[in-house]
């Protein structure tokens, strides 16, 4: 108890230094919490952009289809797949699609792109396509209607009601086929490849143009009841629908650049944390050494009285532990207050793109419990570890030399 009292009073001896040290460590912790929350917020935007838009949380294809979107590599066992998905309690919704690359021609211009044939209702339950409509209306199932990305519409110089001719090759025969559509809606996702290269038509008409039957599709896009199920390898759909003829992949496997970014974001938190805490650790070492040098004579007296080296080392480590605890309390409080505000109001980041996905000018921070458990524990451990060197120095003070210092 007296040792604890001694440690507390030693910290209060030079309150300015103690406060500065606490601020250094506390602000580092706050910065780490906020940096991590910001990273999570940006990842949320990326993940939402991917999973809530065209890709979905997982997709089912014929093996090899994704590599070059070969129109001949279609799924024939769609009945079996539908049955399996209907009975799977982890699947909230799915959207069946046909896809073909083709030439899009307007009266003014020509561009290449992908035509998606979709079931309007099912697609609306898997992706946010209905919400992305910025002009016109969503698909109603009427023959000839088509949705086009706003940038592609600009390129083709067409708008609502204008004609769009799509030329593509039929499945199986390879013959060229043409279909006339009228633009019924213009969408904007903020994803470069989507807004500049996709059109969405009704599934029945698209199948007819491509030459597929009602039981043939290129893709199923899935949405799970819990988004975290998508990236769990043991989830039922991955076990049941991964055969020689069917390939089921989650959104991370479908978006390698995004997966890399997510992996790197974890690494960046480690790098940011390491730099912050190396600086904070050096601050602790400096502060503790200043404190020891001020008390050198005193340590000499205490050692002369018979204090064992371990007791002096323990005193220094206890002082460091107290500093760490106070710093964590301050850092967590500040981190929570600032983080909560930014989680509610967002952080203005300007507009920029990550892997072709436009990040809006506000990123909502995401605070998680682990940030207030793991990071403070790191801080406490690192502060105490940083204090080991000064503690060792204090423990090795030679009484006769220390007693000569200030007299």
Residues of this chain that bind another protein (CB under 8 A) = 2-3, 5-6, 9-10, 12-13, 297-298, 301-309, 311, 399-400, 403, 406-407
- Write down the least CB distance from residue 266 to another protein, Å: 44
Minimum CB distance to another protein smaller for 13 or for 256: 13
Q: At what angle do helices 256-294 and 296-305 cross, to 10 degrees?
A: 70
- Write down the least CB distance from residue 22 to another protein, Å: 18
- Write down the least CB distance from residue 399 to another protein, Å: 5
Minimum CB distance to another protein smaller for 261 or for 317: 317
Minimum CB distance to another protein smaller for 177 or for 301: 301
**β-pairing, 145-149 with 176-187?**
parallel
- Write down the least CB distance from residue 320 to another protein, Å: 17
Q: CA separation (Å) from 367 to 37, 286, 320?
A: 5, 32, 28
Query: Is residue 66 within 8 Å of residue 180, measured between CB atoms?
Result: no
Minimum CB distance to another protein smaller for 278 or for 304: 304
Minimum CB distance to another protein smaller for 13 or for 239: 13
Minimum CB distance to another protein smaller for 301 or for 388: 301
- Write down the least CB distance from residue 19 to another protein, Å: 17
**β-pairing, 198-202 with 110-118?**
parallel
- Write down the least CB distance from residue 306 to another protein, Å: 2
Minimum CB distance to another protein smaller for 79 or for 298: 298
- Write down the least CB distance from residue 303 to another protein, Å: 7
């Amino acid at each position: 108890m007296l040792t604890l009292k001694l440690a507390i009073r030693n910290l209060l001896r030079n309150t300015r230094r103690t406060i500065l040290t606490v601020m250094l460590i506390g602000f580092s912790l706050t910065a780490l919490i906020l940096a991590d929350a910001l990273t999570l917020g940006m990842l949320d935007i990326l993940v939402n952009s991917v999973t809530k838009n065209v890709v979905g949380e997982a997709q089912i294809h014929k093996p090899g289809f994704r590599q070059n979107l070969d129109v001949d590599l279609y799924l024939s066992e769609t009945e079996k797949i539908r049955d399996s998905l209907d009975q799977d309690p982890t699947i909230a919704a799915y959207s069946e699609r046909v896809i073909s690359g083709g030439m899009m021609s307007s009266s003014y211009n020509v561009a290449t792109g992908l035509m998606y044939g979709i079931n309007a209702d099912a697609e609306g339950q898997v992706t946010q396509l209905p919400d992305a409509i910025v002009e016109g209306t969503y698909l109603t199932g009427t023959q000839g209607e088509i949705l086009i990305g706003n940038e592609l519409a600009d390129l083709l110089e067409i708008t609502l009601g204008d004609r769009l001719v799509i030329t593509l090759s039929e499945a199986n025969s390879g013959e060229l086929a043409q279909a006339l559509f009228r633009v019924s809606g213009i969408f904007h996702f903020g994803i470069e490849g989507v807004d500049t290269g996709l059109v969405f038509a009704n599934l029945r008409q698209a199948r007819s143009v491509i030459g597929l039957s009602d039981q043939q599709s290129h893709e199923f896009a899935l949405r799970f009841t819990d988004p975290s199920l998508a990236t769990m390898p043991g989830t039922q759909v991955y076990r049941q629908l991964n055969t020689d003829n069917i390939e089921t992949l989650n959104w991370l496997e479908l978006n390698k650049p995004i997966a890399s970014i997510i992996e790197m974001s974890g690494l960046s938190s480690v790098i940011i944390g390491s730099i912050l805490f190396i600086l904070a650790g050096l601050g602790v070492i400096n502060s503790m050494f200043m404190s020891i040098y001020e008390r050198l004579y005193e340590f000499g007296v205490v050692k002369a009285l018979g204090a064992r080296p371990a007791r002096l080392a323990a005193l220094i480590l206890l002082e460091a532990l107290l500093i760490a605890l106070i710093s964590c309390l301050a850092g967590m409080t500040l981190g929570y207050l600032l983080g909560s505000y930014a989680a509610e109001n967002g952080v203005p980041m300007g507009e920029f793109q990550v892997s072709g996905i436009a990040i809006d000018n506000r990123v909502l921070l995401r605070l998680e419990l682990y940030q207030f458990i793991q990071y403070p524990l790191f801080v406490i451990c690192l502060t105490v570890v940083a204090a080991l060197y000064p503690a060792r120095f204090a423990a090795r003070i030679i009484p006769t030399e220390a007693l000569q210092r200030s007299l």
